[in-house]
Amino acid sequence: MPVPGSVAPGGHPRHRTRRFPHAPHTPHTPLALVGALCAALLLLLAVPGTAGADEGGAPEDHPDFGSAYLGSTVLEHEGGNTSYVPPTDIDPLATVEGVDVSSHQGNVAWSTLWNSGVKFAYVKATEGTGYQNPYFTQQYNGSYDIGMIRGAYHFALPNSSSGAAQATYFATHGGGWSADGKTLPGVVDLEYNPYGSTCYGLSQSAMVDWIRDFSDTYRAHTGRDVVIYTTTDWWTQCTGNNASFGNTNPLWIARYASTPGTLPAGWSFHTFWQYTSTGPTVGDHNLFNGAYDRLQALANG
């Protein structure tokens, strides 16, 4: 187990104007006004972040920005169980039930979840470098206060800014780690782009570089290796099924079926499995692949 348990236009060519007697060319002639308007338009188009998500611009101006959550694109792209079907072919003594939540759940009834057997929780903290979950405090502290082992996750937007920028934003806005025995390492959510093209307009090699940049930076901030949440199909399509993270980063696999299925290259086993998006109390339910003491070990680092 990997760990137990952010051009302006240049100068414009001179306009060729006809010279008329007694009509000197001034900046207030129509041609000059047209030129000024064109320059202003080009400058506006060059402002970072105004390009569409498919062209590599940040989606902060998208009407749905911030609404993505762990697994928000999985059913649409991969299908799976649409009703709550707990896995049956598992050893309950070798797994731990958990949930993941975001702003969509609002204030969570943590006591209800605790009494139902849920012992860990992951809470959305950030997205890109411009969104923070407004319910983060209630969710992150509430799960902890009820007794759960908790952690935070970041919804990655690899076309919006560098991996280092997003890892820093995450680590300093709720995604940090403390050696208190109750805090899990952070998670980077890598799944289908909810605002544009599947792989965020990045090549497979560029995506791998982005993920490594995020991972290295998160470790520099926290001392922990970030958990990678993904699906095998997305990982294969967008990284070329890169196998270089399996020895360092724990895997959180998403598959709404009776088994986790085939894992991405490099991982021989999963650490977490998101097995449904329609569970009781809150939608997304997960299993930790190990006994409770191994979950504690992961929290302890």
Where do the structural domains in the chain lie, given as residue ranges?
Answer: 74-300
Q: How far apart are CA 120 and CA 115, in angstroms?
A: 12
On the question of pLDDT at 149 being above 70, the answer is yes
Burial 120-130 (b: 16+ CB within 10 A, else e): bbbbbbbbbbb
The predicted structure's pLDDT at residue 22:
39
Summarised one tens digit per residue, pLDDT across range 89-104 is 888 889 999 999 999 9
Which residue in the list 78, 127, 191, 233 is annotated as catalytic?
A: 191
Find, among 175, 91, 94, 181, the residue nearest to 127 by Cα: 175
- Residue 189 annotated in active site: yes
On the question of pLDDT at 143 being above 70, the answer is yes
Give the mean pLDDT of 148-159: 98
CATH class as words, domain 74-300: alpha beta
Better pLDDT: 86 or 50: 86
Instruction: Using alpha carbons only, give the angle 141, 60, 49 rounded to the nearest 5 degrees.
Output: 140
Strand 251-254 relative to strand 227-230, pairing: parallel
Strand, helix or coil at 139? helix
Give the mean pLDDT of 70-87: 86
Which residue in the list 100, 127, 233, 284 is annotated as catalytic?
A: 100
Q: How far apart are CA 280 and CA 99, in angstroms?
A: 10
Q: How far apart are CA 55 and CA 75, in angstroms?
A: 25
Which residue in the list 60, 127, 145, 189 is annotated as catalytic?
A: 189
- Residue 191 annotated in active site: yes
The predicted structure's pLDDT at residue 81:
81
